[in-house]
Amino acid sequence: MLTVKKASPFGFVLVAIVVAEVIVLMPSKRIDESQPTGFATPREEVNLSIVGFHAVNLDADGRRGTVDAKEAEVYKEKGFALLKDVDAKIYSKGDNTIRIRAQEGKYYLDKKDIEFFRDVIATSENLGYEFKTNTLKYEDGPKILSTDDQVWISGPNPKDPSLEVRAQGLRGNTKTEEFSLLKDVRCKKHDVGAPSMEIDSDKADVFLNKNEALFKENVVVRQKEMNIFTEHFLVTYNSRDKAIEKAKAFDVVKIVQGDRVATCQKAFILNKEQKIVMTGHPKVVQGEDVVEGKIVIFFTKENKILFDEAVGEVKSLGEGSPTQGKMDFTQ
């Protein structure tokens, strides 16, 4: 049975509307006086206080997104409900389910938008990734998730993640499965059979549907004793275990390994093979040695270099004399 906190001539209409919006699972009672972070509404404006809030939102494909909360205060005239202990499920492309939990929330009755507050945890139940932040907004119409707060992403197994990401701010489209990390991106990637890789950048775009991530602006990639500096770093990972298959640095690339410095326009990183292929006027400088070629290949595990049509004096690059050969890495 619903308890109306405030008598109103619109009482019967209100109850009818709330029944359409909310499935009540338990008898109502007064909830705690505290308000969710970021907003406060006078308690005398509360129309209903409910225990066991449940709303169902049908999307264009007939899938049932849900919003549940242990307690709710409904402000019908203002068009929203304040929630406690929120547990929501929304759908992205295909059948991927995103579960979002938070201590508090604000649910807009007409638009079906939701704002989450305090200890927000979003989990991709199909892909296994976990996302944490302090506030998060979901806009049901355009299917947009967004926050300006710091975010932490881990997965595909959050208890033993091969990927860990920290950034400031996120914008994501659940319909296209694409999202952007807005600034101060810090990424760590650990793959079996390959050295760990750390990637820092100003921004990043992630394309889940393509299994790609593009790190942008002031990118620094660290792997063992090697640092790569570039403006764009595109990572392609496989769909099975999310390990990095290959990566491409482009738009001016500088690779530093000890006293060896290499520059080029593009560098292709084959992670498991521990090999880097440089194209676009590659040049390698080590001490007094300067060598240029059409293609330069670093074998990082063996610390050796191969030049295709090398030009320049070669003395002691790598642990042995560089070899020459014809290899096509331009694709």
CATH code assigned at 13: 2.60.450.10
Burial of 99 (0-12, 13-18, 19+ CB in 10 A): middle
93 and 29, same structural domain?
A: yes
113 and 250, same structural domain?
A: no
Q: Which of 145, 146, 181 is nearest to 166 (CA)?
A: 181
Cα 118 to Cα 301: distance, rounded to the nearest angstrom: 45
pLDDT of residue 293: 86
Domain boundary among the residues 78, 111, 139 is at 139
203 and 100, same structural domain?
A: no
The reply to whether 312 falls in a domain is yes
pTM: 0.78
331 and 194, same structural domain?
A: yes
329 and 216, same structural domain?
A: yes
194 and 135, same structural domain?
A: no
pLDDT of residue 305: 85
328 and 203, same structural domain?
A: yes
Q: What is the chain's pLDDT, residue by residue, as a tens digit (331 residues)?
A: 333 333 333 333 333 333 334 333 333 333 333 344 445 555 557 778 889 999 988 777 677 889 999 999 999 999 999 999 999 999 887 678 999 999 999 999 999 999 999 999 999 888 889 999 999 999 999 999 999 999 999 988 888 889 999 999 999 999 899 999 999 999 999 988 888 999 999 999 999 889 999 999 999 999 988 999 999 999 999 877 788 989 999 999 999 998 999 999 999 999 888 899 999 999 999 998 898 888 999 888 888 888 875 444 433 333 333 444 433 333 3
107 and 17, same structural domain?
A: yes
Q: Which CA distances in Å does 140 have to 143, 209, 269, 322?
A: 5, 20, 39, 58
The reply to whether 151 falls in a domain is no
pLDDT of residue 321: 36
The reply to whether 164 falls in a domain is no
Query: Tokens 């079996």 sit at which residue?
Result: 192
245 and 119, same structural domain?
A: no
The reply to whether 168 falls in a domain is no
195 and 331, same structural domain?
A: yes
C-beta separation of 197 from 174 below 8 A: no
23 CB-near residues (< 8 Å, 6+ apart): 54, 55, 56
313 and 254, same structural domain?
A: yes
The reply to whether 290 falls in a domain is yes
The reply to whether 181 falls in a domain is no
C-beta separation of 128 from 146 below 8 A: no
The reply to whether 283 falls in a domain is yes
Cα 206 to Cα 101: distance, rounded to the nearest angstrom: 23
The reply to whether 177 falls in a domain is no
Q: What angle do CA 159, 161, 167 make, to 5 degrees?
A: 110
93 and 4, same structural domain?
A: yes
Sign, CA torsion 256/260/265/270: negative
C-beta separation of 184 from 200 below 8 A: no
* Number of domains into which the chain is organized: 2
Residue 90 belongs to what domain range? 1-139
